[in-house]
């Protein structure tokens, strides 16, 4: 089993460490360097990592824990996606960029691969679990837009660990048995300080979804 | 009164209030009432007369897109949930 993890930060850290420890071979992709301001929530890194590439440093941590991983210091974009991720069995997204989330989901739909899209902000987060044939990320949210980021709105450090861990659990469920019951579902964790229970949003394919239409046409 | 469930991502606009009670017959009126209590929040949710594409609104378990959109009636026992796409996580 092989997976691409897009983003090596607050979400990508727990995702990669959990999946790598479970025996999933990983491709880790992130263009950023470790900054001091990351350390309160990106606990896969240490002060000694400041200035190093997140992707390769995280991949090294996965390998040090006994897993298999390769890191790439670059932004995951559709143009390079087949080179990076064509041999992945699933793709998991934990970046802070709305356009990347849509690009990953659209590519996964087009390539008939299961995927997990995770996000965290302030005290909560969202996880969408998708696969070909079910309603997709674009069916639900339609198009990227300027959204608040952790840098602007903040995030409680442990929240990214919790959301990243939950996203890893969904990814492992896909890896093991297809996670039929979770596909086409958004888990919206509102405020982890008061409740760990997500709102479970099951949604239907949207008739005018361009990603689903492209898949059907190809 | 219906209850609007404000997501944590938007609670900076409601002084961290998660649940806001409003007296309104439809989702549209409920959002207007919410904006009266907490000015600026409607702009985060609506684009003119439509819900922004990266935001979903549910009345109970149902997406208002599958009901009557912003004209979906609400009762005093309804919960209106605003669910935005999030991008944070790095």
Q: What are A184's two structure tokens? A: 């086409």
pLDDT at A206: 83
pLDDT of residue B90: 67
Residue A148: predicted pLDDT: 65
Sites in chain B below the pLDDT cut of 70: 89-90
Distance of CA B66 to the CA centre of its chain: 16
Alpha carbon dihedral A6, B88, A199, B46, in 10-degree steps, equals -120
Chain B CB contacts of A125 below 8 Å: 86, 88-89
Assigned token pair, B4: 């609007």
Q: Nearest by CB to B90, from A150, A163, A204: name it.
A: A150
Residues of chain A with pLDDT under 50: none
Task: Please provide residue A129's backbone torsions phi and psi, each rounded to the nearest 5 degrees.
Answer: -110, 120
> Does the beta carbon of A135 lie under 8 angstroms from any beta carbon of chain B?
no
Secondary structure class of B79 (helix, strand, coil): strand
Contacts of B17 (CB under 8 A, 6+ apart): B6, B11, B38
Q: What is the pLDDT of residue B37?
A: 96
Buried residues in A122-149 as b, exposed as e (16+ CB within 10 A): bbbbbbbbbbbebbbbbbbbbebbebbb
Q: Residues A192, A198, A201, CA angle at the centre, nearest 5°?
A: 145
Distance from the Cα of residue A179 to its chain's centroid: 16
> How many angstroms separate the CA of residue B29 from the nearest CA in chain A?
23
Judging contacts by C-beta atoms under 8 Å, the chain B residues touching residue A123 are 8
B interface with A, Cβ–Cβ below 8 Å: 5, 7-9, 11-12, 18, 52-54, 56, 58, 63, 66, 81, 83-90
CA distance A76 to A78: 7
Distances, alpha carbon A137 to alpha carbons A121, B35, B46, in Å: 18, 28, 20
Give the pLDDT confidence of A93-123 residue by residue, as tens digits: 999 899 999 999 999 999 999 999 999 998 9
For residue B54, which residues of chain A lie inside 8 Å, CB to CB? 98, 141-145, 147
């Amino acid at each position: 089993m092989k997976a691409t993890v897009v983003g090596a930060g607050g979400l990508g850290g727990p995702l990669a460490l959990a999946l790598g420890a479970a025996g999933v071979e990983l491709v880790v992709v992130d263009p950023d360097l470790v900054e001091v301001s990351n350390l309160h929530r990106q606990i896969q890194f240490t002060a000694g990592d400041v200035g190093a590439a997140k992707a390769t440093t995280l991949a090294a941590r996965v390998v040090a824990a006994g897993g298999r991983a390769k890191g790439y210091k670059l932004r995951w974009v559709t143009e390079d996606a087949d080179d990076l991720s064509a041999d992945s069995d699933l793709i998991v997204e934990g970046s802070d960029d709305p356009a990347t989330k849509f690009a990953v989901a659209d590519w996964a739909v087009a390539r008939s691969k299961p995927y997990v899209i995770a996000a965290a902000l302030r005290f909560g987060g969202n996880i969408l679990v998708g696969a070909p044939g079910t309603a997709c990320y674009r069916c639900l949210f339609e198009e990227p837009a300027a959204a608040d980021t952790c840098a602007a709105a903040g995030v409680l450090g442990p929240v990214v660990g919790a959301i990243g861990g939950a996203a890893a659990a969904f990814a492992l469920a896909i890896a093991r048995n297809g996670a039929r019951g979770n596909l086409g579902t958004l888990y919206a964790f509102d405020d982890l300080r008061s409740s760990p229970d997500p709102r479970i949003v099951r949604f239907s394919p949207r008739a005018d979804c361009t990603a689903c239409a492209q898949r059907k046409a190809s | 009164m219906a209850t609007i469930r404000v997501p944590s991502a938007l609670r900076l606009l409601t002084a961290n209030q998660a649940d806001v009670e409003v007296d309104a017959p439809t989702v549209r009126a409920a959002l207007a009432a919410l904006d009266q209590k907490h000015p600026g929040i409607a702009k985060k949710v609506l684009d003119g007369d439509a819900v922004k594409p990266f935001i979903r609104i549910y009345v109970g378990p149902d997406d208002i897109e599958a009901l009557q959109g912003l004209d979906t009636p609400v009762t005093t026992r309804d919960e209106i949930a605003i669910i935005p796409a999030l991008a944070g996580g790095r």
